Structure 1
C-alpha cells in the first residue's frame, strides 16, 4: 500500500471514530441502542458515498466518497483484527461463577439452538426456493450467531432482571464460537463439493463435517484453557505493573486466536472465549484489585473501539451487498426471518423445559423466553461472515449473491424491527418493573438514604456557615420526602422473615467479598487463599439467596472442612513420606482461618449499621447470632492450630500488620503528593523505600510440621527411661506421622501393622458405642500385635496430632530384646482390656 493509501485509510478510520463518538450521546437521547444507530448511520454513509461517487450530482466530494466506497478491508482482516478483542473482553467481564449457575440453558442456546436454527433455515429455504442444501445451511450458520451488544445495552438501561441479561449475554458469547466453527466447516464442505461436482452432501461428507466441528470446538476449548492459565501465570511475574498486565492480556488474546485458528487448526474463537473466561475466573484472585479494575477499564475501552468500528465497517458494505434487491429477495429475507424464529422457538419451548424437568436448570419463564426469542439481534459478525462468502474463490456468483443479500437484509430486519421494538416488549411483559419485595426494599432504602442526606445537609450548613433559613428549607424538603416514604413502608409486615433474611445474607456475603478483596489489596493473603475465599463468598451468596439460613450455614460448615486437596496431600505424607504439600495446605488453612476471623469482626458492626435499619431488628439479631456461631467455630479451629504452631501464628499476624502498615504509609505519601506537599521526585523516593521493604519480605512464612523424631521422642515418658543405646536404636525405627482432625487412623478389623505413640494431640478410641480418649504420652495399636489379632477398635484424631509410628516387625523385635519394655506394654494392654470390659458392662 502506498503512503497516500495509508494516509487515506488512517484519515477515513479517524473520521469514522468521530462519527462513533458523536452517536453515543445521540443514541442515549433518542432511547435507542447505539448499535442500531451505528448500523443506520453506517448504511447511510455507504449509500451516500456511492450516490456521490457514481452520479453527476456533484464532484466536490468524490475523493472522500471514493475512500469510503473503495475502503478495501476484507472479511478475514476484520475477523482477525477485531474479533479476538471483542470475544476476549466479553469473556473477561463475565462473572464465571454466576455463568455456571445457568450453564445448562446457556449451552443449550449457544450450541443446540445454533444447530437447530441452522438446520431449520437450511432445510426450509432449500425446500421452498430450491437452493442447494449446503448453501442454505451455510446461510443458516451465518445468521445463527446473535449480537449481545444492543440487547444487553437495552437490558441494562431499563433494569431488566439479572438472570435474563446473563442468559442472553452468555448465549451471545458462546454461540459466536459455535456459529463461526460451523460456518468454517460448511464453507470447506461447500468448496469441496463444488470442486468435485457434488451438489448434495452424502453421509460421509456430513460425518466428516461433524468430526471437524467437534475437533475444532473441543480442541479450541483445551487450547484456550491451557493458554489462559499461562496468561494468568504470566500476570504474576509482572510486579503489579498495570500497563504491563494490560499489554500481556492484549497480546494473549491475539496469540490465542491466531495460533489456534491458523496454526493448530482448532477454533480460534472458542480458544479466545475459553481463555477469557479462565482469566476472568482466576484474575480476581491473582491480580491486585486496583490493577484488575484498571485492566477491565482498559479492555472496556478497547472493546468499545473494536465493536463500534467493526459495526460501522460492516454497515458500510451493506449498500454494496444489497445492490439490485428485488421482490424475490425481500420474500427470501422474510422467509428467513420466519424460519429463524421457528428454529429458536423450537429450542426455547420444546428443549429448554426438559432441562428443568431433569433438574439441570431453574425454570425459565415464558416471558424470559419471549424476550430471548425476539431479542436475537444479528450484527457485525453476521455481516462479516456474509462478506467472507462474497470474497471466497470457487463459489458461484449466484450463491454469493443469495447469501450476501439474504444475510444482510436479515441483519437490517433484526436491528430496525426487533431492536426498536424490544424495549416496548420488555415493558409490556413487566420485566422492567421491580418485584413486590424489591419495591418494598426500594422504599426502605430511599427512606434511609433521604434521612442520611438530611443529616449531611445540616452538617454542611453548620460547617460552611450557611444561612440557617436556607439549611432548614433544604433539610426539611428531604425530611418530608423521607417521612412520606417511611409512612408507606412497614418492611417487617410487608416482607416475610424468610425473604428479608435472604436479602440480609446476600448483603452479608457481598460485604465479606469486599473485605476479602481489601485484604488482597494490602497483599496480606496468598493467591491460593484469596481464590478459595472468593469462591467461598460466592457459595455463601448462593446459599443465602437460594436456601436462606440453612444454605448459608451449610456453606459455613463446609468451609471449615478439609478440601480434597488436603486428602491427597495427607496421603502423600502418610504413604509416600512427602511432607511439603501437606505443610503448604496447612499454611493456607491457617491463613484462611485468620482471614475468616478478621472479616467476621468487620461484619459484626455492618449488621448493626446497615442490616438492622434496612431489614429490621429481628433479622439483624438472627444474622448476628449466625455470625457469632460462625465466629466460635472459626475460633475453635484457629485455636487448635495456634496450640500446634504458636510461632507460625505469630509470624502470620506480624506479616499482616506489617502489610497493613505499608499500605497506610503509601496512602499517606500519595495523599501528601495530591495536596502538593510532596514533589514528584520526593514522592517517588518515599514510595520506592516502602516497596523495596515490601519486596524483601517473604510472601508467606513456611510452615514446619515439627516432625523431628528426636523432639517428638522427648515428649514420650515411655522412652525417657530407656538407656542411650536403646533410645538411639528406637529412634531409628520410629517414623513421624502427622494426622488431621477427624481423620481415621485405622478401623476395627484392619490388620495390625504397627504401634502409634502420641507425641502431641488427642485421639478417640471407638469400640461399638463406647468412646475412650487418649492424649500426649499414650500409645495405641499394641493390643492387636500382642494378641496377634485384627484391630478391635477404630481410632480417630480429635485434633491435629503428631505421632510416632513403629512397624509391627520392628515392634516385635524391640520387645523381644527388652523384657522390661515388653512387661510395660503387656501391663498397659491388660489394663486397657479390663477398662474395655468394664465399659461394656
Structure 2
C-alpha cells in the first residue's frame, strides 16, 4: 500500500512539474530533475533507489518503442550514415576517452572497469534528446539525426559495458577478440532478428484485430515481449525494440483501423508524458543516496568529476567536426549530402544530454573486480550522476539560446506547405475519381456532401501557404463552428440534467461533438 502511495505521489509531482514548466516556458525534463534534487534533501520525503532492471526492462522499452513508432523510416534510412557515426562511432570513442582519463586519474584501477564507466556515460539519453530537440524546434534533419542516435546508442553502450564488465570481473585474459566479436554478433544480430520477428508476429495480429481496445492492449505488450525475447537469447533488447518499433510504425497505416490509430496515439502520448516525467524526477531524487556513499576528499572528488565532465563534453565536438566535414572529401558523399552550415554540428554537439539509462547502467556496475577486489563503485555512480545532471541542466537549459544565437537556418515552411498541398490535391483528385465511379450508388445529396468535404480539405491545404497574418476562411469556419458546438453541448447537458435524455445519449452526443472539435484543432491531437 505504501509503495502504491509513493508511486501516486511521484506521478502527481511529475505532472505538477510538467505543468509548471509549461507555464514558465521551461523544458520539463530540466525542471523535474531540479525538483527531484531539491526534494531528495527534504526531511521525511520518500527515498527511492532505482532498480537498474526496472529502468532497462520496464521503463526504457516503451519509451524507445513509441519514439521508434513515430520515426520516419525513409528519413532514418536517408540519414543512416550520420546516425551510425554518432550512435556507434561516437559512443565507442567517448567510452575509450573517458576510460583513459579515469585510468590516468586512478591508475590503481584496471583499465577494463574504467572503460565500463566510459561506456556508462557515453550514450546521450533517448528521452532527453527527443523531449528537448522537439521542444526547441530544431530543423527536421537535425531532429531526425538526434532521435536516430538516441534510438541506437544505448545498444552500443550496453554491449560495450557488458564486454568491459566481463573483462573487469573475470580478468582481461578471459576476454579475447573472439569473445568481443561473439558478444557484438549475438547482441546486434540477435536483437535485429527478434525485432524483425516482432514486426511479423505483431503486425499479423494487428492486421486481424478490428477492436481498438484490443489493438491498444497489443501495442502495450509489443515492447516488453520483444525485450524479454531478446534477453532470453542474450541479445540486445534495445535493438529489438527499435527494429520492432520502426517496422510496425512504418506499416501502421496498413495494419490498424482509423479508430485504433486514434486510440493508440492518445494512449502513447499519455504513457510517454507520465513515464518521461517520472524518469526525470526519479533521477533527481537519487542525489542524497548517491552522495551518502561517496567518501572521496572533496577536492579530489571535484577534480575527477571536472575531468570526466570535460572529457564527455569535448569528445562529442572532437568527433563531430571531422565526421561531418572530412566525410565530404569522398565525392559520392559530397554529391549526396552537401556540407551543412557550421551551426549544425555545434547544435548537435550541444545536444548531448545524458539521462536515466546512464544512471541505471552505473547502478548495474559490479560490486567487486577480478579476484574479489573492491573498488570505488560509489565514486563511479557519483560520476555518472554528475554527468547526467550537468549535461541535462546546463546543456539542456541553454540549448534553446544556443540554437537562437547561432541562427540555424530553419526548415522552409513554404516549401513544406507547398509539398503537402500538392499531395493533398492529388489525393483529392483520387477521391473525386472514386466518387464519380460510385456516384450512381448513392443519393445526389450524399454525393454533393462528399464532394464538398474533399474540396474543403484541398482548399485548407492551399490556405497554409498564405501564412498566419490573416484569418483564413478555414480558421474563420473553425472559430464559428467552435461556438456552435459549445451551444450544442450546453443544450445536451441541460437536457440530461432535466432528465429528458439518458446519460448514454449525452455520452454519444458528446463523443460526436468531441470528434468534430478535434478536427477543428489538429495541433492538440499531436
What's the TM-score, normalizing by structure 2? 0.77
User: Among residues 140, 145, 152, which one is paired with 1:167 in the alignment?
Assistant: 145
SS of alignment partner, residue 47 of structure 1: coil
Q: How does 1:465-504 map to 2 (within 5 A)?
A: 504=418
| 1:385 maps to 2:361 | yes
Q: CA deviation at 1:271?
A: 0.6
Residue 393 to residue 311, structure 1, CA distance change in 2 (3 Å): farther
The answer to whether the aligner puts 1:415 opposite 2:392 as a matched pair is: yes
Give the number of the structure with larger relative contact order, counting CA–CA contacts within 8 Å between residues 6 or more apart: 2
Alignment of 1:701-720 (within 5 A): none
**Counterpart of 1:77 in 2: which secondary structure?**
helix
- Aligned ranges for residues 295-334 of structure 1 at < 5 Å? 295-323=264-292, 324=295, 326-334=298-306
Cα distance in 2 for residues equivalent to 1:81 and 1:270: 15
| Residue 290 in structure 1 maps to residue 262 in structure 2 | no
The residue that corresponds to 1:335 in the other structure is: 307
Contact (CA 8 Å) 1:177, 1:270: kept in 2 or not? yes
Q: Which of 317, 336, 346 does residue 345 from structure 1 map onto?
A: 317
Q: Is 1:185 the counterpart of 2:163 in the alignment?
A: yes
What count of residue pairs does the alignment treat as equivalent? 458
Shift of 1:503: 5.6
| 1:165 positional shift | 1.3
- Identify which of 335, 339, 359 aligns with 1:363: 339
Residue 19 (structure 2) aligned to one of 18, 21, 25: 25
Tell me the residue number matched to 1:137: 115
Q: Against the structure 1 CA distance between its residues 609 and 302, is the aligned structure 2 distance closer, same or farther, given a 3 Å change threshold? A: closer
Q: Partners of 1:319 and 1:516 in 2: how far apart?
A: 62
- Alignment of 1:257 with 2:227, yes or no, is yes
Q: Output the CA distance in 2 between the equivalents of 1:371 and 1:278.
A: 29
1:93 lines up with 2:70 in the alignment: yes
Q: Supply the distance in 2 between the matched residues of 1:288 and 1:265 (Cα, whole angstroms).
A: 35
* Aligned match for 1:36, one of 30, 35, 47: 30
Say whether the 8 Å CA contact 1:106–1:171 is kept in structure 2. yes
Flag structure 2 segments of 5+ consecutive residues without an equivalent: 438-449, 467-491, 508-526
1:809 match: none
- Structure 1 residues 516, 316: closer, same or farther in 2, change over 3 A? farther
Q: 1:510 to 1:276 in 2, by over 3 A?
A: farther
Contact kept in structure 1, 2:116 and 2:165, CA below 8 Å: yes
Per-residue deviation, 1:504: 2.8
Asked if 1:45 is matched to 2:70, the reply is no
Q: Which residue is 1:453 aligned to?
A: none
Q: 1:513 to 1:154 in 2, by over 3 A?
A: farther
CA 1:237–1:341 in structure 2 vs 1: closer, same or farther (change >3 Å)? Answer: same
Give the superposition deviation at 1:31.
2.8
8 Å contact kept, 1:82–1:307: no
Residue 14 (structure 1) shift: 0.9
Aligned match of 1:565: none
- Shift in Å, 1:282: 1.0
Report the counterpart of residue 520 of structure 2 in structure 1.
none
The answer for the alignment partner of 2:176 in structure 1 is 205
Q: Say if 2:29 and 2:131, in contact at 8 Å, map to a contact too.
A: no
Q: 1:122 aligns with which of 99, 105, 117?
A: 99
SS of equivalent residue, structure 1 residue 221? helix
Answer whether contact 2:128 2:354 (CA < 8 A) is retained.
Answer: no
C-alpha displacement at 1:132, in angstroms?
Answer: 2.2
In structure 2, relative to structure 1, the CA distance for the partners of 1:158 and 1:306 (3 Å cut) is: closer
- Stretches of structure 1 that go unaligned for 5 or more consecutive residues are 1-6, 53-60, 194-200, 442-499, 525-598, 616-672, 685-841
Q: Which residue of 1 aligns with 2:246?
A: 277
* Structure 1 position 266, deviation (Å): 0.7
Structure number with higher helix proportion: 2
In 2, Cα distance between equivalents of 1:515 and 1:379: 48
- After superposition, what is the alpha-carbon deviation per residue over 1:437-494, rounded to whole angstroms, capped at 9, x for unaligned? 65xx5xxxxxxxxxxxxxxxxxxxxxxxxxxxxxxxxxxxxxxxxxxxxxxxxxxxxx
- Verify the 8 A CA contact 2:152 2:238 in the aligned structure 1: no
Contact 2:105 2:304 in 1 (8 A): no
CA RMSD of aligned residues (A): 3.7
Distance 1:519 1:254 in 2: 44
TM superposition shift of 1:229: 1.9
